Amino acid sequence: MTISTDTGTAPRVALVTGGSGGIGAAVVERLAADGFAVAVHYAGSRDKAEDVARAARDAGATALVVGADVADEDAVATMFDAVERELGGVDVLVHSAGIMLLSPLAELDLDDFDRMHRTNVRGTFVVAKEAVKRLRSGGAIINFSSTVVKLALPTYAAYAATKGAVDAMTMILAKELRGRDITVNAIAPGPTATPLFLDGKPQEAIDRLAAMPPLERLGVPTDIADAVAFLAGRARWVNGQVLYVNGGIA
């Protein structure tokens, strides 16, 4: 295990779910650059997670790859066991794993609704439940919400409903951890150029969404990773909040 040369102590440890690609991969890169040892979680693509971990190691960080179905209690517990065994503990949980399936409400297949609920809602609940048992004092739980909760865009009803549930869990859990010195917040990205966001969208729709922020562009994963790094680092007086990272969309 890598030892920090400037303090002589082991680095803080961050577990990033959904760390194998998109925003999660950018978060791993940023936290590794900030001196964290990182555990890169994947659900379906170990090869991609290995690539992300290898890049973190090449930059001088300690990195571990872990796989789990985030909605499976036993698998999540095993994942935390592996991180504690290999990296010594967990200080920060960044729960970015999620899926997005879009459709007008009246046309949505209920199997798709159930899939999103299982990953986005149950998954957030299960991972947070395990993190509460494991995180060390001074730690942080950072969930992922979405700006679409307040934008109320057509075709996003089911997805936004799952992220509204994340908001509620985040704010309540922050209060339930009174006295633990663990912050609980959520990041709510705006339109961000990731495969999850871009998949299946016509260029006209992408251009329209890019024009919504006053900054007149889509976000990029590093924009979101910067906000995660803020909450994972010295932002100890930010707690129980949903932080909108969306370029100024009202």
pLDDT single digits (tens) 225-238: 999 999 999 999 99
Q: Is 159 a catalytic residue?
A: yes
For the segment 194-218, what is each residue's pLDDT rounded down to a tens digit?
Answer: 887 788 788 998 999 999 999 999 9
> Choosing from 42, 156, 159, 244, which is the catalytic residue?
159
Long-range contacts of 159-167 (CB under 8 A, 24+ apart): 159/100, 159/101, 159/102, 159/116, 159/120, 162/98, 162/116, 162/117, 162/120, 162/121, 163/120, 163/188, 165/120, 165/121, 165/124, 166/120, 166/121, 166/124, 167/242
Q: Between vectors from CA 122 to CA 88 and to CA 43, what angle results, nearest 5°?
A: 55
Q: Specify the pLDDT at position 5.
A: 32
Average pLDDT value for residue range 59-78:
98
What mean pLDDT, rounded, does the chain reach? Answer: 94
pTM reported for the whole predicted model: 0.94
Burial group, residue 70, by CB count within 10 angstroms (0-12, 13-18, 19+): buried
Domains plus CATH for the chain? 13-241 (3.40.50.720)
> What secondary structure letter does DSSP report for 121?
I
